[in-house]
Amino acid sequence: MTNPIYLDYAATTPIAPEVVDSMLPYLSNTALFGNPSSLHSFGEKSGDAVEYARKTIAEYLHCKAKELIFTSGATESNNLAIKGIASAYRNQGKHIITSAIEHKAVLDTCKYLETQGFEVTYLRPNNKGLIVLDDILNAITGETILVSIMQVNNETGVIQPIGEIAQALKDKPLFFHVDAAQSAGKIAIDLSTTPIDLMSISAHKFYGPKGIGGLYISKRKKPHLQPIVHGGGQEHGLRPGTLPTHQIVGMATAFQLAQKNLSKDFEHCRQLKRSLLDILLQVEGVTLNGGQEHALPNIINLSFDQVGSDSLIIALRDSLAISSGSACNSGAIEASHVLRAMGIEGDRLYGAIRISLGRYTTEAEIKKAGHAIAEEIRRLRELALT
Ligand SMILES: Cc1ncc(COP(=O)(O)O)c(C=O)c1O
């Protein structure tokens, strides 16, 4: 049996062959397996590879290498940033601002902090899925210590005005955290001109390995974070634990590839999106969710009247791998909190599917997928009538 066509790149991407090649020596070479913290030559070789990788990633992000620490991914980085600020600055204030369309790694962290006496404002986006700067500014009180807004939404692909928000918050006595899990490696990020204080990244969203990510901690406002894990003192004591050299090297290669392919990947996705929409917008009762003016082309969120997303995804599961929204919600099909927050209801809410594509998706695959979806919609609607 052949594999279904993979259209769930926002959940995770296949690892690039170049990334695998760069990681292999750190898994198989008998001189390169050392603990990067060790003082002997084995440790030194691994340590050098880790620091070279840190420098490479910092170059892509336009920040200093010492402003980056390695974590297991964006979930951990988001937890460390938000809980780390909350516990370090709780005497300054107990108010956090975020948005209702964040990933659960931010939302559930904030929910947890509410049980610890913090107050959280969850801003709703407009009907295009955009967070409005004035809403953030109006929500700030003397107690606000942190604003956390994602750069690209994982369900709609909508890009938030992070640069504008960062400029507006830069002189305020609070910190600005950005969840860049869906944007790092897909759009250029210049931290030397964008005054973000903390930023979470994850390698497996852009052709790197799973289980590795990072947190950027700016030297500008120097946020002091309380660690959430305690141990051997690695990563300035903020994220102790033996560093996984092969994963870190893989993430750096993924960033190098991203740098090289940024506009090519973007244009490729834009063309594929156009081909898919040429087919699917012909179907009656279809809606494209999320504003299209400021969106990454690799994520396409569509609703079909009278068709539940679960029936569609299950009916197509042998030929297409697509999702109903946030696949990170442990596979459960439930109405999307993102679309709900955008004011979407009824069929449009329960019928939404997310198609996400990337570097290795082909025009032939996208056309095949488009026709299969259109055909299945017709079949499911006919079935519902009989
Ligand atoms: C916006 C966003 N934040 C955080 C995460 C979690 O990332 P990780 O899998 O690296 O923990 C995801 C994964 O889907 C995401 O899309």
pLDDT digits (tens, 9 = 90+) for 301-326: 999 999 999 999 999 999 999 998 64
Average pLDDT over residues 363-370: 98
Which tens digit of pLDDT belongs to each residue from 251-305?
A: 999 999 999 999 999 999 999 999 999 999 999 999 999 999 999 999 999 999 9
Q: Report phi then psi at 335, rounded to 5.
A: -60, 140
* DSSP, residue by residue, 86-143: HHHHTTT--EEEEETTS-HHHHHHHHHHHHTT-EEEEEPP-TTSPPPHHHHHHH--TT
Query: 287 forms bridges with which residues in the sheet?
Result: 303
- CATH fold of 5-13+262-385, please? Aspartate Aminotransferase, domain 1 (3.90.1150)
pLDDT band at 328 (very low <50, low <70, confident <90, very high): very low
Q: Is residue 148 within 8 Å of residue 97, measured between CB atoms?
A: yes
Rounded (10°) CA dihedral 237, 238, 243, 246 = -150
Residue 330, pLDDT above cutoff 70 = no
Cα 42 from Cα 245, distance rounded (Å): 12
Give the DSSP H/E element, type plus range, for residue 41: helix 41-61
Query: What pLDDT does residue 112 have?
Result: 98
Average pLDDT over residues 70-90: 98
Pocket lining: 12 vs ligand 1, CB cutoff 6 Å: no
Range of lowest pLDDT (87-101, 150-164, 303-317, 327-341): 327-341
Pocket lining: 75 vs ligand 1, CB cutoff 6 Å: yes
Pocket lining: 73 vs ligand 1, CB cutoff 6 Å: yes
**What CATH number belongs to 17-256?**
3.40.640.10
Which tens digit of pLDDT belongs to each residue from 174-184?
A: 999 999 999 99
Helix, strand or coil for residue 159?
A: strand
Residue 269 a catalytic site member? no
Query: What pLDDT does residue 170 have?
Result: 97
In percent, the amount of the chain with pLDDT more than 70 equals 98
DSSP 8-state assignment for residue 194: S
Amino acid at 386: T
Pocket lining: 213 vs ligand 1, CB cutoff 6 Å: yes
DSSP 8-state assignment for residue 146: E
Atom of ligand 1 nearest to the CA of 327: 14
Which tens digit of pLDDT belongs to each residue from 194-220?
A: 999 999 999 999 999 999 999 999 999
Q: How many angstroms is it from 340 CA to the middle of ligand 1?
A: 20
Parse the chain into domains and list their residue ranges: 5-13+262-385, 17-256
pLDDT band at 385 (very low <50, low <70, confident <90, very high): confident
